[in-house]
Structure 1
Amino acid sequence: MPRTCTFLPALVCAVLLGVTGCTATGGDDADAPAQVQGGTDSGGGTTGSGTGQDLGIPEIVEAVQPSVVTIFTGEGLGSGVIYTEDGLILTNEHVIRGNEDVEVAFADGQRVSGTVEAADTVTDLALVQAERTDLPAATFRSDLPRIGDLTVVIGSPLGFENTATSGIVSGLHREIPGSAATSQSLVDLIQTDAAISPGNSGGAVVNGQGEIMGISEAYIPPSQGAVALGFAIPAAIATEVAEELRADGTADHAFMGLVPGPITPEIAAQLDLGDTRGAVVLSVSQGGPADDAGIRPGDIITKIGDQEIATAEDLLSALRQYDPGQTVPVEIQRGADTQSVDVTLADRPPEP
């Protein structure tokens, strides 16, 4: 049987497409949008799906649907977006997790074999090479949308291929509470009220000009009291990671060498803290950047660079702004004392 979604504890209150391996059964200036073409074949460029003009929803679907695919594995299915005209597909890592070979179905009904080329668990992104060329590569928008902008989600929710739903951008820079304990992919996301369901994973979240603004990532189900809460990886992050994966099969991520956690009321009482804002250091990697800077378990991180840290997810989001090798000031609270230490970030070690 194909996999179905599972739930995380109530602290997270979400079915996380990017954490559980959840698959389905069976903009600032609309007149001059910043765009990033999907990577091109060495033989030439692509036309992409973006138009640069506001379109109606039927026209958006008609323009972008040929650039969205369904990815079948032995465990279930997910969605993907055509990244290059020579058959490179961008999707979620959890869609293809545990597989080297998949099947890719296109909007015109053709199915071909696909090979997993590279994957990044930190951002939950992956590249699949489909055995087909001369494809309509999507156009990706490099800047963030505005709250209230139109969104159209295209993918294969619950196995219904070539499905479109619509809504608006509901929020930016969202983190799913509690996700730091299980995944680093659920921070700095675009929030939308357009319906996202299992099977949409890795599919397109599109703006009113037919450009990819994000890659479908997660949703919070109605059973948790939510009404239309979906989340997407911003296109700028997706394309940056995709280009790194194309270059050498890996993506670089700043590594601090510690495990952050939420400050629960119990931890606040134990450490005699006045409030629960910040991220508590649960453990420190021996010889890692945090250890070298003198950070200890039990310290409370309240600021990285100029960014205030209110939650563990804030810390992970803040690290996204830095590259390995950079030195960043980190403000910590230890007992009644507050101090700043300089942490030289490292490259994240490979998964064991």
Structure 2
Amino acid sequence: MPSLKSYLSLLAALVLVGQSLVARAELPDFTDLVEKASPAVVNISTRQNLPERAMTGQPSVPDLEGVPPMFREFLERNQPQVPRAPGGGRQREAQSLGSGFIISSDGYVLTNNHVVADADEIIVRLSDRSELEAKLIGADPRTDVALLKVEGKDLPIVKLGESDDLKVGAWVLAIGSPFGFDHSVTAGIVSAKGRSLPNESYVPFIQTDVAINPGNSGGPLFNLEGEVIGINSQIFTRSGGFMGLSFAIPITVAMDVANQLKDGGKVSRGWLGVVIQEVNKDLAESFGLERPAGALVAQVLQGGPADKGGLRVGDVILSLDGKPIIMSADLPHLVGGLKAGSSARLEVVREGTRKTLDVTIGALPDEGAEISPAEAAGAERSSNRLGVSVVELTAEQKKGLDLKGGVVIKEVLEGPAALIGLRPGDVITHLNNQAIDTAKTFAQVAQELPKNRSVSMRVLRQGRASFITFKLAE
């Protein structure tokens, strides 16, 4: 007779088998999704005729100097070909491979801007291997979205979903052409939403662990319902290949851009006219905040929407139209999505007090206004216990920097100023939340600075303003 111990062991084994079967049953089956969606996913290649020049040896590869090593656009250009031109000379061509997807039966295609940038010819290859020449309707480098058009009727199309409804942890699937392997399928989960990447101010990226490689760029990201909820755009990499982090442009953002490109050929975005920075722990303490959150206004452009709406340097923006600003990068996403002329309600903290401001949103200029840096000029010097010698700004410097006051650093001595990285030529406009109009005011405020508590200082360097913090020891 089997012992009780044997029965218990058998029961435990059956439980483990049952759990395994249940786990397998819960894993998604992507076969139907891939079968239905694949025909609308396309491969994109481009050709660019580059200027003729003297070449020796093998064709050179693209110069990647200065490209950020971790966050980068897919560098998908192949080594240039060197065909003979009709006249007997040499002509260089550059080709790239990427992906895209058809969003209308009459031939509109979405992809990334960097896949088709500077192309003289764009070829779209369909799932049946047929090739069509595409026309670039418009592109938006700020979101890395491009809209193409091919001639066709009754073309297969993707279903579009709502990226706002996507939840972290949800299964997602990508179809694209990594390294030129058409219609490759990879799957994973949503790792995070609303990610901000360096030099990307207007896209709240969807972060996933879906395997994305060069060639996937511009391809669709699907949810389990077979709806496109993003455009695969960037990866985090130290090696140039997939390392477990990939980023997609939300389809709601991409379609808003595509519709504007289709209707008017360009994209209009909301604009406040401020320079902002992150609120860290020390800045939060300095400005009397309970926790590090919000967007600290380091600079207000004269005559801009923020200036007209009463926003001031040193204000910390906590919310826009009731939507919280946790990280400073949350603000450009929200402002950029507003239409010029619309009204927005900002909740700010000013000198420790919460205020509400109504601001009329402006239109983002094509190019931001540059503010020229000041050069130190002669005036009465003022030394202080910060270890820095300052002089007052001249009337010309104030006009050039659009300032009413402030002092410029003439010399940095040994002391706290040197430790926090101040340099000659830096302009100080605020110290310990107080405006600095003269060298005398600066000396007085510096003399009364508290010890062992975070103190903020607003500094302009080469025209760019930012707040820094420091502590004076006993």
Under a length normalisation based on structure 2, what TM-score does the superposition of the two structures give? 0.55
CA distance in 1, matches of 2:174, 2:229: 10
Does the 8 Å contact 2:202/2:336 carry over to 1? no
Runs of 4+ aligned residues of structure 1 deviating over 4 Å after TM superposition are: 264-275
> CA 1:202–1:185 in structure 2 vs 1: closer, same or farther (change >3 Å)?
farther
Q: CA–CA distance in 2 between the matches of 1:295 and 1:93?
A: 35
Which residue number corresponds to residue 186 of structure 1?
A: 203
Offset of residue 238 of structure 1: 2.4
**Within 5 A, what are the aligned runs for 1:232-251?**
232-251=248-267
What is the deviation of 1:163? Answer: 1.2
Distance 1:336 1:236, change over 3 A: closer
Quote the offset at 1:315 in angstroms.
0.9
**Of 137, 153, 162, the match for 1:117:** 137
Change (3 A) 1:102 1:270: farther
Q: How far is the alpha carbon of 1:270 from its aligned partner? A: 7.5
Q: Give a deviation string over 1:212-238, Cα, whole Å, max 9, x none.
A: 1221133323769x9623222222332
1:136 paired to 2:156: yes
SS at structure 2 position matched to 1:233: strand
**1:299 and 1:223, CA in 2 relative to 1: closer, same or farther beyond 3 A?**
farther
Q: Is the CA contact 2:202–2:333 (under 8 Å) kept in the aligned structure 1?
A: no
User: Is the alpha carbon distance of 1:266 and 1:95 closer, same or farther for their aligned partners in structure 2, counting shifts above 3 Å?
Assistant: farther
Deviation at 1:337, TM superposition (A): 4.1
Tell me the distance in 1 between the aligned counterparts of 2:269 and 2:300. 18
Residue matched to 2:307: 291
Contact 1:124-1:185 within 8 A present in 2 as well: no
Q: Offset at 1:294?
A: 2.5
Number of aligned residues: 293
1:162 to 2:183 alignment: yes
Q: 1:315 aligned to 298, 306, 331, which one?
A: 331
The answer to whether the 8 A contact 1:167-1:193 is kept is yes
Residue by residue, what CA displacement relative to the aligned partner does 1:32-75 show, whole Å, maximum 9, x if unpaired?
xxxxxxxxxxxxxxxxxxxxxx9832222222112111222344
Does 2:147 correspond to 1:127? yes
- Residues 24-63 of structure 1: matches in 2 within 5 Å? 56-63=29-36
Aligned-partner Cα distance in 2 for 1:265–1:98: 44
Look up the match of 2:51.
none
Partner of 1:71: 44
Paired with 2:227 and 2:320, the residues of 1 have a C-alpha distance of 33
Distance 1:113 1:314, change over 3 A: same
The answer for the alignment partner of 1:31 in structure 2 is none
Residue 37 of structure 1 is matched in structure 2 by none
- The alpha carbon displacement at 1:78 in A equals 2.0
What is the RMSD of the two structures over their aligned residues, measured on CA atoms? 3.0
Q: Distance in 2 between matches of 1:62 and 1:298?
A: 55
Q: Assess if the C-alpha contact under 8 Å between 1:100 and 1:116 holds in 2.
A: no
> In structure 2, what is the equivalent of residue 49 of structure 1?
none
Distance 1:330 1:195, change over 3 A: same
Residue 330 of structure 1: CA displacement? 1.3
**Residues 222 and 60 (structure 1), Cα distance of their counterparts in 2 relative to 1, 3 Å cut:** farther
Task: Give me the whole-angstrom Cα distance separating, in 2, the residues matched to 1:285 and 1:78.
Answer: 39
Instruction: Name the CA distance, whole Å, in 2 between partners of 1:97 and 1:269.
Output: 45
TM-score, normalised relative to structure 1: 0.73
Distance 2:179 2:279 in 1: 37
Partner of 1:304: 320
The residue correspondences of 1:16-27 to structure 2 (distance < 5 A) are none
SS at match of 1:109: coil
Q: Does 1:82 align with 2:140?
A: no
Of all paired residues, the percent bearing the same amino acid is 34
Name 1:91's counterpart in structure 2.
111
Change (3 A) 1:142 1:351: same
Gaps of 5+ in 2: 1-26, 49-76, 78-95, 369-474
Look up the SS of the partner of 1:95 in the other structure.
helix
Residue type of the partner of 2:44? I
2:273 maps to a residue whose letter is G
Amino acid at match of 2:183: N
SS of 1:122's equivalent in the other structure is: coil
**Which has the higher relative contact order, 1 or 2, with Cα contacts under 8 A spaced 6 or more apart?**
1
- 2:225 aligned partner: 209
Structure 1 unaligned blocks of 5 or more: 1-53
Deviation at 1:302, TM superposition (A): 1.9
Q: 1:152 aligns with which of 170, 173, 176?
A: 173
CA distance in 1, matches of 2:297, 2:215: 35
Offset, 1:254 = 1.7
Match of 1:262 in 2: 278
